[in-house]
Structure 1
Amino acid sequence: MLFRKLFATVFICSLFIPSAFSSSPSLGNILPRGAKRGTEVELNFHGDRLDDAEEIIFYSSGFTVNGLETVSSKHLKAKITINPEAELGEHLLRIRTKSGLSGVKSVWVGQFETVPEKEPNSEFTTPQTIPFNSTIEGILENEDVDYYVIEAKKGQRVSAEVEGIRLGNAFYDPYIAILNMERFELAASDDTALLLQDSTTSIVAPTDGKYVIQIRESSYTGNGNCRYRLHIGSFPRPIAVYPAGGSAGKDLEVKLIGDSTGESKQTVKLSDSPDPKFKIYSNSEGLLSPSANVIRVSSFPNVLETEPNNNRGQATASDAPLPLALNGIIENPGDEDWFKFNVTKGQRFIFRAHAKSIGSPLDPILDIYGPDKKHISGNDDADNKQDSKIDFTAALDGEFAIRIRDHLKKGGTNYVYRIETESITPSLGLTIPYFGRADYQSRQMIYVARGNRFVTRINAGRSNFGGDLIFEASGLPEGIKLMSNGMHASINSGLIGFEASPEAPVAGTLTDLIAKHAEPEKNISGNFSQPLDFVLGPPNNTVYYKSTARKLAVAVVEEIPFSVDIVPPVVPLVRNGTLDLKVTATRKEGFDAPITVRMLWHPPGIGSQPTLQIPKGKNEVIYTINANGSAAIRTWHIAVMGESDAGKGQILASSNLTPVTVTEPYLGMKIEMAAVEQGQDGFVICKLTHATPFEGKATIKLLGLPAKVTASEIEIDKEMTEISFPIKTAADSPKGQHKNLFCHLNIPQSETLIPHNVGHGGVLRIDAPPKKPAPKPVKKEAPKVVAKVKPKAKPLSRLEKLRLEAKNK
């Protein structure tokens, strides 16, 4: 009988709450790191909490997931078909589980079959033989050197390119070299301007025969995370493209520079809208460069330099008005290029040199000269980057000139640049701030439990405009809606939220999150993007390789055992006051774990503790917020995030967006300067100014008093204009001026209190008691005069007497 009761109790509890609620998955690495397009590949995902995986979400097209296999909670397999037309290079993805979304990771698509590294291959005499036109996946351990051998014909291009640091696994610096069988180094590469720490090199085979490709970490300090994909084949590998951009929607003939077989030309169709990262893949006999060269697509026309243009007198001119794009190459050491342009007084443009941003080794310096040939402005690095920028406003009509050169006066055929003269136009972008220092992954996605909410802070990067913003989200999963009160013109950070209905299907999508100017006729909008700082290194977490995800991942996940709410306050938060917010938790039966409550955002001038905790088994906590004297007067919307653990990691639920109105204090106060002696009683007089009438009695305390000084709480009403606090001091109360007096005031309204802090800066002077008069001095009697006794003369000696007699004669 007892067993039946126990069984029934356990069974009933299991109906209310599972043994553990899952948390969002974590994704550590993906193996292999890439595959050939047009093939099916089995990818292994390693991380944690992967056992309820439902979907691989790719940020780009060309991938079909044919099946998922859960090996364990830490290992997931997926068979994926890569479309033959999939773009070469990096592709971003996330894993969606029933309980959340993983961080963003990448896989790489190539054009060759993948060959795994096989040890031993660490000696030149025993290299691993591979087919020509292959991609090798390997690891560089500490002091490791890997060798591969291929066969090539005389005159055949032999190229090598490595994806190392760009895989995002570790901070390291790969080095590659092509050697002949006599171990003579024919070409080598460490860093490249095009591929950052990754390397590429190419030769034309001088003879038929075998060639060895060496790869190592440049300082021999590899480890198990130093993975690489090494492409070896006859593919073209230009290292620069000229011109470095063109006009949107047009065909552009470009010169491909730096390939071992010489320069070539290619015509490309540019995108119909501006694109700062338009990709060009060089094509030679059906083979493409493994990674793209990048050029810029702009809305204004090109001007190509005309040599010689090495001084102002030879400056390249254009008949077209600004804005323009000025293109050229600093081909030789010491070279400098000049362009001239006409503007009218008051015209303003941003001159921005693009070099490093497009994979050029040039470190540009810009200088602008006026019609009188005098220097107006110059710039080396701008916006924490090596490329240059000048904000230029013409002071008069006339012909101006601009000069560009390398910072160290270097030059070369690949020192390509593009100077864009941009008009001052509005721009807008959205990001979610990092949850922690150098943490580019946590809470950069939205996963909403069914019947719950998820609120996130959002930053708006405005430039060259002002005004309120509104938010839109297109392509949300079924059953989710966006919660937003817009963003006021005075702030660049705020909150948006997402709410899922209880019936919302468990699913996820990549969403276009857009902010728009609240006035539609302004036609200003901007999209969300997530910076991905894939590789950080010394010093101070410098970003060595980064990518960008341009959509917001949003998912509906299975319900969790709690929700949180802020009870909307019925009174305002006054400047220099506080407001107690009641945060409540609604728990499912059987769930009693502590819930950490985190304030997600503070409006201007408002502060609070970062987190509080609803204790185990409790259902509410008071979260006090405060406003300083300059807090913005308006209604803001705030929210908290509830964080807990139901057995398998952190689970999250947000409160509603709750309005909090900031107002001026209902009452102003001036504390008159007061003085009192130590050990005596006294008064502190306060003048009151009523701004907002109130009913009933308010209580007021005098605070900021020095030690051993006390004052009683008193009551006031709306009619009183002056109050007097009786104060008591001790004999040893600290003397001197005490300048931190203020009053804490509680005004009743709507069956609650409105706390105020008023009268800041009051002064109380405590004086020492007056000194007692000094006692009269006792008159001393004059000392008695005693007659001096004349000392007897000393008798003269016989010799002295004879001398005296002789003197008197």
Structure 2
Amino acid sequence: MRVGIIGFTFLTLTTMAVAQPPVPQLQAVFPAGAQRGTTVEATAFGNQLQTAFAVWVSGEGVKGEVTKAENNRVQLRLTVAPDAPVGERDLRLVTKGGVSNRIRFFVGTLPEINETEPNNTVAQAQPIANLPIVINGTLNPGEDVDCFRLTLKAGQTITADLMAQRLFPYLPSSGGQPGYLDGVLVVRDNNGRELAFCDDIFHRPDPALAFTAPADGDYVLEVHDLSYRGSVQFVYRLTVGTLPVVTHYLPLGWQAGTTVRLMLSGLMLNGRVLANVFVPPSPPQLVTVLPCLDGQPLAPLPLVSVPFPVAWEVEPNDTPEQATRINPPIGVNGTIYRAGDVDCFVFTAKQGQRFVMETWAWRLNSPVDTVLEVLNRQGNLLAANDDHPDGLKRPDSYLEWTAPSDGDFVVRVRNRLNEGGDGLAYFLVVRPFQPDFEVRVNEDNPRVPQGGTVAIPIAVVRREGFAGEVTVTLADVPSGWQVRPLVLPPNRNDGVLTITVPDNAPLGAIPLRFVGKAQIGDATVTHDAIGLETVQYVDQQRQDVVKTVVLGIVEPLPLRLTTPEAVEGKVGSGVTIAVRVERRGDFKGAVQVSVQNLPPNAKADAVTIGEGQSDGTITVQLAANTPAGVYTLLVQGQGKVGEQNVMVVAPAVRLTVHPAQ
């Protein structure tokens, strides 16, 4: 990853921030995309945006600048290079308070325009002179309807494909319904008579339709929310033209490093259309491919890339006696063709042999809610799973299973929703156990003051019997930065690593790449971490994967803490940590110091480093039953500057606990 800082320095260390300004909250960006090779004027909406000074966009080929900033609105200029990769990006604003949450921004290949109000009725419909086109619009306020006038010839067929829920899949809501824009497309004649209607397509909340003009004349394409709600976040992208729209495809997975012929189905595809794509090597396991028809790229599609052979299911395979034979490790492409359809696959195992069985469907935008079952040859159920135990991957299925004896066993896949059809596809993986782990960063836009320290929350998910130690650190560390890695022993799955930046670190945004390392058998295994944002969906919080974790560097604070890199002690003893307070500017007040992330059963009382004092100690009392091992402690400090409470963290301390004897 190329590391670069977006931003500039506002001030020297002779000026201090009494307290950090609030973190910016980004609600929407309009338009939510642009054509390659163009520059667009955009507006960002949100809160605490008045100090915005830069734009950060993931990937290559998109640059942005702030032209005007107000509290809840920022004017942007976004420039997309002619060779910018097509597809989804993360866009964030950078302010004096740090880096905002991400908003999805799309790079496309077609010309684009913005809707022009008023266009709520057939009579007010906005004329669309040229096709194909991408129309950027917003449904706001409530009761808003957007209408667009098309002039068509008799027999001319066009498609309309709305992207709305895919822009904002998670939005706060009330009344128990999802908060996203639940779009509707309607085609009307010039008298307002409805000729075509689509609420959703192929179980997808975003609608798409194909319409053939019965006669020469004008027709009106209408967009509105199903419940006629409105919001600044009800932003959409409407693609209109004589264009194919892919609604489903096969296969969903293929062997890495090979070429596969995709079978595409949808609107204006006249049955299944074939397109060759190259499957990138894994990892990562989930990749994106860009099929083309007649030299024109279609929408990017997700695909599972696996390092072993891939097969197809063979019907009939509804019963254990009809099961398709497979030889793990293997991936299998299957389809639930009709309501009640089940697919059976048989393989041979030795007693005690351990397997992982996993389905991919929901993660690939297939509507199948799989149930995965293991049976013996007599049809008796041995194990089953409906939803993946990992919340990021449900409702796909996952099983870890050990063969109880030598012999043949059957894997059965069915749809919990009892629906079927050509597009209800899934990808099944059956492979031997492979102990492994995943690293997750649980904050996607942390911030750190110049000359200060930030604690990055990390979680490790151990899989398939792996119970070893994992070390997590920052890759591509800029000059002058100090990183204290996180070491997670077998009995710990989460903790923090700390990053300390120099006094002259430029204000702005910098992408971070975290790496986890562990010894698994004779191999040293490393994995890049994934970043997660927390989002509100209906009445619950969920985590969603972001493309990059981005750190905001903000103005310095009036105090900072320093600590030793490592301390040690024995079970049942006390361990003393030296803490130094460095006050800056006019701050001379007392600082209360505490320790977080203690070992099991350990205690540490908070201490106060008095007014004008610089040095203090805090003692961690290890219990007689505290397990020996390596732990990462976080020391925090709090001081009052004027009427403001200022919170800071110190560089992490590595604690080694030795056995009592």
2:501 corresponds to which residue?
A: 500
Structure 1 residue aligned with 2:314: 306
Indicate yes or no: 2:128 matched with 1:130.
yes
Deviates more, 1:413-422 or 1:229-238: 229-238
Gaps of 5+ in 2: 1-11, 172-178
The reply to whether residue 585 of structure 1 matches residue 581 of structure 2 is yes
Whole-Å separation in 2 of the counterparts to 1:416 and 1:18: 58
Cα distance in 1 for partners of 2:214, 2:361 equals 34
Asked whether 1:419 is paired with 2:428, we answer yes
- In structure 2, which of residues 374, 399, 402 is the aligned counterpart of residue 368 of structure 1? 374
* Closer/same/farther in 2, CA of residues 588 and 286 from structure 1, 3 Å limit: same
How far apart, in 2, do the equivalents of 1:639 and 1:470 lie? 16
Partner in structure 1 of residue 650 of structure 2: 655
User: Residue 210 in 1 paired to residue 229 in 2?
Assistant: no
What are the superposed Cα offsets for residues 188-232 of structure 1, whole Å, 9 maximum, x if unpaired?
Answer: 123754x5x333333444554433322222222333432222222
Residue equivalent to 1:152: 152
Identity of aligned residues (%): 23
Q: Which amino acid aligns with 1:355?
A: A
Question: 2 CA distance for matches of 1:652 and 1:468?
Answer: 31
Instruction: Provide closer, same or farther for how the CA distance between residues 198 and 607 of structure 1 changes in structure 2, counting only shifts above 3 A.
Output: farther
Tell me the amino acid that sits aligned with residue 31 of structure 1.
Answer: F
Distance in 2 of aligned mates of 1:128 and 1:305: 49
The match for 1:359 among 340, 358, 365 is 365
Change (3 A) 1:612 1:457: farther
1:334 counterpart residue number: 340
CA 1:608–1:654: 2 relative to 1, 3 Å: same
What does residue 323 of structure 1 align with? 329
Change (3 A) 1:616 1:259: farther
Q: Secondary structure at the match of 1:273?
A: coil
Of residues 403, 407, 410, the one that matches 2:412 is 403
Picking from 224, 233, 248, the partner of 2:241 is: 233
Q: 1:696 matched to which residue of 2?
A: none
Distance 1:40 1:323 in 2: 48
* Aligned residue number for residue 62 of structure 1: 61
Matches for 1:282-293 after TM superposition, within 5 Å: 282-284=291-293, 287-289=296-298, 291-293=299-301
- Note if contact 2:16-2:556 (Cα within 8 Å) is conserved in structure 1: no
* Deviation for aligned residue 1:415: 0.8
Amino acid at match of 1:602: L
Change (3 A) 1:336 1:47: closer
Note the C-alpha offset of 1:264.
0.8
Give the structure 2 partner of residue 83 of structure 1.
81
**Where do residues 8-407 of structure 1 align in structure 2 (5 Å cutoff)?**
16-18=14-16, 23=21, 25-29=23-27, 30-46=29-45, 55-65=54-64, 67-72=65-70, 76-96=74-94, 100-131=98-129, 132=131, 133-168=133-168, 170=171, 171-181=179-189, 183-190=193-200, 193=203, 195=204, 197-262=205-270, 263-284=272-293, 287-289=296-298, 291-318=299-326, 321-383=327-389, 385-407=394-416
- The secondary structure found in structure 2 opposite 1:166 is coil
One-letter amino acid of the counterpart of residue 653, structure 2: T
Structure 1 residue 238 displacement after superposition: 1.5
* Amino acid paired to 2:545: T
- Matched letter for residue 582 of structure 2: T
CA distance in 2 between partners of 1:41 and 1:648 (Å): 43
Instruction: Name the structure 2 match of 1:802.
Output: none
Relative distance call for 1:352 and 1:208 in structure 2 (3 A) is farther
Where does residue 532 of structure 2 map in the other structure? 531
The answer to which structure, 1 or 2, has the higher relative contact order (CA under 8 A, 6+ apart) is 2
- 1:440-492 deviation line (CA, Å, top 9, x unaligned): 65xx4353523x33333322222232322333422223321322263323322
Structure 2 counterpart of 1:377, one-letter code = A
- Equivalents in 2 of 1:184, 1:48: separation in Å? 40
Rate the CA distance shift 1:228–1:624 in 2: closer, same or farther, 3 A: farther
Coordinate RMSD, CA, aligned: 3.8
Distance 1:212 1:395, change over 3 A: same
Amino acid at match of 2:369: D
Name the aligned partner's letter for residue 403 of structure 2.
A
Decide whether aligned partners of structure 1 residues 517 and 459 sit closer, same or farther in structure 2, where only a CA change above 3 A counts: same
Asked whether the equivalents of residues 320 and 377 of structure 2 are also in contact (C-alpha less than 8 Å), the reply is no
Cα shift at 1:282: 4.8
CA distance in 2, matches of 1:486, 1:560: 28
Counterpart Cα distance in 1 of 2:372 and 2:568: 57
Letter in 2 for 1:342: T
CA distance in 2, matches of 1:185, 1:257: 24
Q: Provide closer, same or farther for how the CA distance between residues 106 and 344 of structure 1 changes in structure 2, counting only shifts above 3 A.
A: same
Cα distance, 1:358 vs. partner? 1.3
Q: Which amino acid aligns with 2:40?
A: V
Following superposition, the deviation at residue 267 of structure 1 comes to: 0.8
What does 1:588-599 align with in structure 2 at a 5 Å threshold? 588-592=584-588, 599=595
Contact 1:117/1:137, CA 8 A, preserved across alignment? yes
3-state secondary structure, aligned to 2:280? coil
In 1: Cα distance, 2:414 partner to 2:556 partner: 60
**Distance in structure 2 (CA, Å) of the matches to 1:122 and 1:598:** 59
Contact conserved, 1:428 with 1:524, CA < 8 A, in 2?
no
Aligned mates of 1:622, 1:605 — CA distance in 2: 20
In the other structure, the counterpart of 1:449 is: 450
**Per-residue deviation, 1:661:** 6.1
Q: Separation in 1 of the partners of 2:611 and 2:115? A: 53
The answer on whether the counterparts of 1:172 and 1:222 sit within 8 Å (CA) in structure 2 is no
Indicate conservation of the 8 Å contact 1:479/1:503, yes or no.
no
Q: Give the direction of change, closer, same or farther, for the CA distance of 1:588–1:520 in structure 2 (3 Å limit).
A: farther
| C-alpha distance in 2 between matches for 1:90 and 1:649 | 40
Per the TM alignment, residue 423 of structure 1 is displaced from its structure 2 partner at its CA by: 2.4
Residue pair 2:347, 2:409 contacting (<8 A) in 1 also: yes
Per the alignment, residue 471 of structure 1 pairs with 472
Q: What is the distance in 1 between the residues matched to 2:607 and 2:106?
A: 43
The structure-2 alpha-carbon separation of the partners of 1:503 and 1:585, relative to structure 1 and needing over 3 Å to count, comes to same
Name the amino acid aligned to 2:125: P
Seen in structure 2, the aligned counterparts of structure 1 residues 410 and 113 have a Cα distance that, compared at 3 Å, is same
Which residue, out of 574, 595, 604, partners 2:600?
604
Taking structure 1 as the reference length, the TM-score comes to 0.69
Amino acid across the alignment from 1:42: E
Residues 204 and 261 in structure 1, CA contact (< 8 A), matched pair in contact too: no
CA contact (8 A) 2:488 2:631 kept: no
- Give 2:165's aligned amino acid: I
Letter in 2 for 1:79: R
Report the CA distance between 1:130 and its aligned residue.
Answer: 2.3
What stretches of structure 1 of length at least 5 have no aligned partner? 1-13, 434-439, 666-690, 692-809
**C-alpha distance in structure 2 between counterparts of 1:635 and 1:280, whole Å:** 43
Q: Distance in 2 between matches of 1:518 and 1:353?
A: 28
Normalised TM-score (structure 2): 0.83
Asked if the contact 2:139–2:145 (Cα under 8 Å) also holds between the matched residues in 1, the reply is no
The aligned amino acid for 2:453 is R
Q: Kindly tell me: are residues 636 and 293 of structure 1, through their superposed partners in 2, closer, same or farther at Cα, counting changes over 3 Å?
A: closer
CA–CA separation in structure 1 for the residues paired with 2:576 and 2:609:
15
| Helix, strand or coil at the partner of 1:523 | strand
Alpha-carbon contact 1:280-1:292 (below 8 Å) kept: yes
When Rg is computed on C-alpha atoms for both structures, the one with the higher figure is 1
Q: Does the CA-based 8 Å contact 2:439-2:458 persist in structure 1? A: yes
Distance 1:540 1:466, change over 3 A: closer
